């Protein structure tokens, strides 16, 4: 660790305030170029503690930058991990208020819901499939707190990997009932298809992202509890949205989910 605990708390407060007030800021590595990975996750953890103290509840976790399309879009080369709160959840078909966000983008994802605890180290695709209750289509709304979505990996980790909102819906499927590598996804904005892909875009199999998450958490002494919702990462590039937009995700054999931006 390179940063003092006061600096970590101050950065967590800065990013938390940006999220609450829908204000952007410069990426934090500009002012703290020597911060390391532990510092980045420590800022994320401090922000999570602040939000939980205000009454939010954990509902699960997310993996991000798990596909080449996303890594290319953001100019980075490793996955990152964050947490999901109940306050991020939008009902299927519901409305997402743009005024609460800075510059939202949507991503098509496969969500996993667990029925058993998942624990690293040594967690693998098989452990994830065995612990999965069901998989379900999900749209993640990301909203980097950094100006113009410009960041490096440590800054985005501190910012809870741009997590902002999500919606899940459609047909829940047993993980064994669908080939998550070949399953096709179509993201539509205002009725027009805007992004397409197949599950294998995410680390060859979306469950691999969940295994990486469990192994990552184990290094911090944390596990994925039963009943967690996990977003496995955008299959395509993220698509910008504004008030008035309607977004629908169709996943082959798994129905659709969507939200309106108001």
Residues that bind ligand OOG (CB under 6 A): 64-66, 70, 74, 107, 140, 142, 144, 156, 161-162, 233-234
Contacted by 127, from Mg ion, ligand OOG, none: CB < 5 to 8 Å by type? none
Query: Interacting stretch for Mg ion, rule CB under 5 A, among 8-16, 133-141, 176-184, 222-230?
Result: 133-141
The C-alpha atoms of residue 65 and residue 59 are separated, in whole angstroms, by 20
**Closest separation between CB of residue 185 and ligand OOG, Å?**
13
Contacted by 42, from Mg ion, ligand OOG, none: CB < 5 to 8 Å by type? none
Query: Three-state DSSP class for 89?
Result: strand
Contacted by 161, from Mg ion, ligand OOG, none: CB < 5 to 8 Å by type? ligand OOG
**Closest separation between CB of residue 27 and ligand OOG, Å?**
11
- The Cα diameter of the chain in Å comes to 50
Q: Does 108 interact with Mg ion (rule: CB under 5 A)? A: no
Strands 256-261 and 95-96: parallel
Using CB atoms within 10 A of its CB, is residue 124 exposed (0-12), middle (13-18) or buried (19+)? middle
Query: Interacting stretch for Mg ion, rule CB under 5 A, among 31-39, 134-142, 144-152, 215-223?
Result: 134-142
Among residues 234 and 258, whose Cβ is nearest to ligand OOG? 234
Contacted by 65, from ligand OOG, Mg ion, none: CB < 5 to 8 Å by type? ligand OOG
Q: Give whole-number Cα distances, 233 to 3, 11, 79, 163, in Å.
A: 29, 25, 9, 11
End-to-end CA, the chain: 42
Give residues 212-251 in contact with Mg ion (rule: CB under 5 A): 234
Among residues 105 and 189, whose Cβ is nearest to ligand OOG? 105
Residue nearest to ligand OOG (CB): 64
Q: Does 159 interact with Mg ion (rule: CB under 5 A)? A: no
Strands 58-64 and 229-231: parallel
Contacted by 170, from Mg ion, ligand OOG, none: CB < 5 to 8 Å by type? none
In contact, 29 and 35? CB cutoff 8 Å: yes
Token look-up 């003092």 returns 4
In contact, 259 and 93? CB cutoff 8 Å: yes
Query: Three-state DSSP class for 167?
Result: strand
**Closest separation between CB of residue 14 and ligand OOG, Å?**
17
Q: Give whole-number Cα distances, 21 to 16, 176, 256, in Å.
A: 9, 42, 31
Among residues 64 and 206, whose Cβ is nearest to Mg ion? 64
The C-alpha atoms of residue 112 and residue 232 are separated, in whole angstroms, by 7
Among residues 29 and 236, whose Cβ is nearest to Mg ion? 236
**Closest separation between CB of residue 195 and ligand OOG, Å?**
12
Among residues 140 and 245, whose Cβ is nearest to Mg ion? 140
Interacting residues toward Mg ion by CB under 5 A: 64, 107, 140, 234
């Amino acid at each position: 660790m390179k940063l003092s605990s006061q600096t970590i708390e101050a950065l967590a407060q800065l990013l938390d305030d940006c999220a609450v007030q829908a204000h952007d800021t410069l990426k934090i590595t500009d002012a703290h170029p020597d911060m390391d990975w532990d510092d980045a996750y420590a800022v994320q953890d401090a922000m999570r503690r602040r939000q939980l103290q205000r009454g939010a509840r954990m509902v699960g976790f997310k993996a991000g930058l798990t596909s080449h399309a996303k890594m290319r879009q953001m100019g980075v080369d490793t996955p990152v991990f964050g947490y999901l709160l109940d306050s991020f959840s939008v009902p299927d078909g519901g409305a997402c208020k743009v005024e609460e966000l800075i510059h939202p983008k949507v991503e098509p994802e496969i969500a996993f819901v667990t029925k058993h605890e998942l624990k690293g180290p040594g967690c693998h695709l098989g452990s994830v499939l065995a612990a999965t209750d069901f998989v379900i289509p999900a749209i993640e709304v990301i909203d980097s707190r950094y100006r113009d979505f410009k960041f490096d990996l440590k800054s985005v980790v501190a910012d809870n990997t741009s997590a902002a909102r999500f919606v899940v819906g459609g047909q829940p499927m047993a993980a064994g009932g669908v080939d998550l590598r070949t399953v096709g996804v179509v993201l539509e904005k205002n009725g027009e298809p805007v992004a397409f892909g197949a599950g294998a875009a995410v680390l060859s199999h979306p469950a691999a992202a969940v295994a990486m998450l469990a192994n990552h958490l184990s290094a911090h002494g944390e596990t994925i509890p039963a009943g967690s919702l996990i977003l496995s990462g955008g299959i395509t590039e993220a698509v910008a949205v504004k008030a008035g937009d309607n977004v629908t995700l169709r996943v082959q054999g798994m129905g659709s989910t969507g939200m309106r931006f108001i």
